[in-house]
Amino acid sequence: MLALLSIFQPNAIFTSPSRLCQITQQYWNKGGKPFPITKILLAGEPCSASQRSQIRDFWETEPHNLYGSEETDGLAGSCSQQAGLHFMDDLYYLELLELGTDKKVPDGKAGEAVITSLYSEGTPLIRYRLGDIIEPYLSQCPCGEKWPRIKVIGRSQQAFFLYDGIKLHSYQIRSALTSVYPELDLYQAVLRPGDDGVDEVEIMISPAITDTSQGMLEAIEETLWSSSLDLAAAKDIGKLRFRIASDEEMLMTRRGKTPELIDLRHGNEREFLKRNSG
């Protein structure tokens, strides 16, 4: 990767935050910035505050986040204010529905994104469920742009399947984390089998979070247990436990992404890294 970048010396980079942080760290270890970058676009995963700071400080360029899908291409992007993503409502119509229903959520509430393309002729999409949970902003962005702002919370179908068919969704974990740390972007939950027969969900949060007092961590755990009746039952039965950490390295895929959920009950870290290395 570094060899190709050195050959072509691009003035713009479009990749995932995790991959660019890897590249940045390698150039840092080599002694500094090899060529100037004027535009940085990030997509594929949330960008944490610490990742943004590392990228901005090294390349001396403000990175911008993009949100989209394979079916739609780009749907939204950040502006100079970095206060949410501006949804391109002149190209797509966005509906937010309650999970598993066709019922619209109340204004300002998060829901499953349903997209209708307004101008696509080759592959038109009509009320297409993206599978993403999106929360809208009701106020206009300070930048003055009239495109509405959104926040992508997570995937509606991304979940751990636990004891007796109980599900723990990624958006439940993210909601619990952001209820305590509103600015948190990056996290990773790893599900492992315990030696005592109890599944353990280890939730790793960004090292940039400095206040990890016992009270804060207990508040996150309590929010998780109370996020569904099934999880509360799992707690009572004793088939699940949570552990929250801010000082452990997150696992990455070979494409440079940091997946939010990793199930290691049928393998281990070494096998995961082997499958996703290269």
What gap in Å lies between CA 66 and CA 77, rounded to an integer?
A: 4
**Tell me: the pLDDT tens digits for 133-162?**
888 998 889 998 889 999 887 777 778 887
What gap in Å lies between CA 266 and CA 104, rounded to an integer?
A: 38
Helix (H/G/I), strand (E/B), else coil: 234: helix
Q: Check: CB of residue 193 under 8 Å from CB of residue 174.
A: no
| Contact residues for 102 (Cβ-Cβ < 8 A; gap 6+) | none
Q: Supply the pLDDT for residue 188.
A: 86
Q: Supply the pLDDT for residue 14.
A: 92
DSSP secondary structure, 209-274, as one string: -----HHHHHHHHHHHHTT-HHHHHHHHHT-EEEEEESSSPPP--TTS---SEEE-TTS-HHHHHH
What gap in Å lies between CA 78 and CA 99, rounded to an integer?
A: 26
Q: Supply the pLDDT for residue 266.
A: 66
Go through 201-237 and write b for each residue having 16 or more CB atoms within 10 A of its CB, e for each that does not. Answer: bbbbbbbbbeebeeeebeebbebbbebeeebeebbee
Residue 260 CB: number of other CB atoms within 10 A?
20
- Domains, the chain, with CATH or none: 1-62 (no CATH), 86-153 (no CATH), 159-275 (3.30.300)
Chain centroid to Cα 234, Å, comes to 26
pLDDT < 50 stretches in the chain: 278
Q: Check: CB of residue 150 under 8 Å from CB of residue 240.
A: no
Q: Supply the pLDDT for residue 49.
A: 73
Q: Supply the pLDDT for residue 211.
A: 67
Q: Supply the pLDDT for residue 97.
A: 92
Q: Supply the pLDDT for residue 210.
A: 62
